[in-house]
Amino acid sequence: MIVLLILTITSLLNSFSCSNPCVTQVTKPVDHAEGPVWDYRTETLYYVDIHAGGLYSYHPKSNNLQHINLNGSLSVIIPSQSNTTYFFGGLNRTLTLIQWDGGKGLGKTQNLAVVQPEYPKSRFNDGKADKQGRLWFGTMGYENSKGDVDPNQGALYKFTKNNLQHPDVLIRPVNISNGLAWNKANDKFFYIDTPTNQVRQYDYDDKSGTISNPKIVFDVDDHPAITGHPDGMTIDRDDNLWVALYNGGAVIKVNPRTKKLVEIVPIPAQFVTSVAWGDTNFTTLYVTTSRYALNKEERIRQPAAGSVFAVSNTKSSGYPANFGDIINLP
């Protein structure tokens, strides 16, 4: 309660002092916050603490923060379409059904599918649902304590009601499967394989759920004003991409049609992991960060690293997230 009170006071002070965009710390730090998703039905932000297997729920109106822990690395969480207490999670290499009411007690879990038996040390990383409720979950190779990742051991999978045990492989090989987004017309798909430092665009067929004709629409290496690597990603109502920069201390706004860097939003954490639009009108950009790779001295200099931040006054807004629909639920 004391920590939350301090954060609330800090948030109020920041709201009066910061300029546009306004960045406010809204949660206490964890080691590696990732995968934010806003459920408009319950007005809740969900996110994970990957290596601790943590699943968090944050209610902005009450400032209530709850969490549970699962056994393993939980890297992505998608609410289900038909029941707000069920989630599809990427737990290690297993697509897992998780029952949770957002409070302190974990309900039942069920393993739905396991991928990549040829790479037993790999794991899921990022993922989203498309408008049909299909799950697009990507993987990455083994990561050692220094952050080095075994290359070309990941893939991007698509799970549907009809292929649960044998998901479609959409992109392979992949190093670290990360940000995903679809445009307003739902005919373009954007994707990030982090070590490439690139955002790629694909033609997208929603009926078949297929992608084709990849091309690079943004390359971090072409822009000396920014550093780090592209991580999680979302899109706004004007079809601009918002990309988290891991080891870059910022979120960037990118126009994929012109390939231009539109805006840089500094975040008070070196390792920025992902982004998601939320709140009533989807005008708040929630940003997750990590302290996992920081040493003791760096953690002292970055006390908010690992927190979730809310970015307001961006003059942009997003869309409601898509939810998963791949099995029949109660």
Q: What is the pLDDT of residues 7-58, one digit of tens each?
A: 333 444 344 346 689 999 999 999 999 999 999 999 999 999 999 999 999 9
Q: What is the DSSP string of 111-144?
A: EEEE--TT-TT-EEEEEEE-TTS-EEEEEE--B-
CA 249 from centre of chain = 16
Instruction: Specify whether the CB–CB gap between 87 and 44 falls below 8 A.
Output: no
**Bridge partners, residue 253, by sequence:** 242, 263
Flag residues of the chain having pLDDT under 50: 1-17
pLDDT confidence of residue 3: 32
Domain 2-312, CATH class in plain words: mainly beta
Give the pTM: 0.94
